[in-house]
Each structure stands twice: as C-alpha cells, then as structure tokens.
Amino acid sequence: MSAVQPQHGRRPDPDDGHAARRVIATVLFPWMTAKFLFKPRVGPLRKDRMLNRLAFWRSVVGLGVILIATSRYQDVWANIIRKAMETGRLALVLLPLPILVIFIVTRSGHRIQLLPGVLLLIGRAALALTFFYLPIVLIFAAAGELSIDSLANGDAQFQRDIDVNASGAAALWLLAAIGLAFVLVPWFLCFWYCTIYWAARTGFWMGDIHPLLAPIGTTSLMLLISGQEIIARDTNGVPDWLWLMLNLCGAATALVLAIFEYRHLRSTGYRFRNGPEPAATDSDSRTADVEVEIGTAGPATAPPIAGTPIRLHE
C-alpha cells in the first residue's frame, strides 16, 4: 500500500491576491496613481498617521466650505486650481532657499544624509512638472501656427483634419483613437489635478529633504500667499467679510496643525542640525515606542506592566 506523497507546492497566499488588486486599483484610479507617486512617506507612529489624516480632512472640509460659501460669487474650481498652481509655482521658485539654509544649518558630518532626500525631491518635482506640462506640449505639437494668444482665444489651427468618411483599417484606427481619448482624457485630467494638489499641499515636497521643513515650509507658503491676497484685496467678487473670514480661518487651522506636527517631530528626536534622522539620544525610546505600537516588542524592549515587580538576573 503506497503512502500518499505530500505536495510540496506553494500554498496560495491571500496577501498576494490583495497586493495584485491594490496594484490594479493604483493603475486604474488616477487619484491612487498620484498618491502612489507623490504622497510623502508617513511615519510609523500612531500620531504620525493621525496628523496625516487631520491634514487630509482639513483639506477636504476646507474645500467643501469654500465651495458652499463662494459658489454664488465666483467660479470656485477655477479659483482653487489657480491658488494651487500659484502655491506650487511659488514653492518651486523659493525651493533653493530652504535647501541652502538646511545645508548651512546642518552639521558637516550629517550633511551627507540630506542627499537622498534632495534626489527624491528632484525626482518627484521633475515627474510632476513633466505631467503638468505634457498636455500643453501635446497641444503645441498638434497645432500648426500656435501661440499663447491663439490658444487662449481658441484660434489654434491644427495640421491635420479628421477624415470622418474613413473606411477599413483607417476607420478602425479612428474609432480606437476616439475610444482611447474618451478613456485617457478624463483619467489624465483627474491625475493632473491630483498632481497639482500634492505639489501644493507638500510645498513641492520640501519634507523629503528634512521632516521639519514640511510644516514650516508649507505653512510659510500659505501665509505668504494669504498675506499677498489680503494686501491686494483680491476678493474675486466674494463679499469682503466672507472672503476675510475664509482666509483667516484657513490660515489659523493650517498654523495650528503645523504647530502640532512640528512639536511632534521635535518630540521624536528630529533636529535641524542633526540631519533628517532622529537624534541619537531619542532614537532608542522612539524605536521602543514603534515596536510597542506595531506589536513587535520583545521581552527586552517591551515596557513592564504596571504593578509587576522587575526581577534582576543574579
């Protein structure tokens, strides 16, 4: 009687299917693609995740309040996109200044630690600028005599006309191109807006260089733009009292959140002079906190239970 031979094949792992579905969703949904490419890394602590959620919901609630309060007076979406683009443009122009300052402030032995963050920022910025200007480049490439004025006035003359009477292979190619345009144009438009959102929210990813630059840089940009609007009284048709209240409330909530984020980063050991890594004096306690929160703390690192005597090995 022959014994049943055990099968040595690899058992299917449920996590593999979950990972595959996540990859497919990241490719299909443009907001998830933008999040994967441009969202900064969130720390492992519970408070890191809480502050990240607060920043997200502050953006969502603020956007909702602006839409409801000002939709009667202006084109809200155009104004929001204009503000986001202005924030990203200003962050890009001023970006060399915080990089120079952080290199000067950081101790010489820790400056090499800033290089990976600088390279990551350059990569994200180059990718974002590529996707941002891609539609404009394609329009210029498809048009014959095209200038900024003709593009704004809708007078662009394209080099080739579409043959609506095409047949055979040409008709198939035409239908495929039209179908692809109907799918890709809305996808890319949503991805384009999400790219602008991440560039504006992160201050052009200044936090990649040093974590403390994230709350300071983004809040400074927001206060600078809000100050310019208040000085110029750029209300865009919104009543003065409503416009001023929205600006002041937005600035106040962003400032409070930035203060909490900065204090949290300082408490976990981040210092400007020590580079983008936590200070050595606080790293052990921070590691223990992380291990306890994620459930990987061993007997040597887990804190003792209250009321339990600690026995020393003799």
Percent above pLDDT 90 for the chain: 4
Q: Is residue 51 part of a domain?
A: yes
Kindly state whether residue 38 falls inside one of the protein's structural domains. no
Q: What is the pLDDT of residues 289-314, one digit of tens each?
A: 544 455 555 444 444 444 444 444 43
Query: What single DSSP character describes residue 158?
Result: B
The answer to whether position 119 is within a domain reads yes
Q: What is the pLDDT of residue 36?
A: 92
Question: At 308, is the secondary structure helix, strand, or coil?
Answer: coil
* Domain contains 39: no
In a domain, 6, yes or no: no
Comparing CA positions, the residue from 216, 211, 209 lying closest to residue 118 is 209
DSSP letter assigned to residue 143? B
Q: How is residue 220 written in tokens?
A: 């400074």
DSSP symbol at 40: P
> Do residues 103 and 114 make contact, with C-beta atoms less than 8 angstroms apart?
yes
Supply the range of the domain harboring residue 185: 46-123+166-278
- Beta-bridge partner residues of 197: none
Domain total in the chain: 1
pLDDT in tens, 29-55: 999 999 999 988 887 888 888 888 888
pTM comes to 0.69
Residue 303 lies in a domain: no
Round to whole Å and give the CA distance between 209 and 117.
4
pLDDT tens digits, 160-207: 555 555 555 665 666 666 777 777 888 888 898 888 888 878 878 888
Q: What local confidence, expressed as pLDDT, does residue 302 receive?
A: 45
Domain presence at residue 18: no
CA distance 281 to 300: 19
CA end-to-end span of the chain, whole Å?
A: 58
Residue 86 lies in a domain: yes
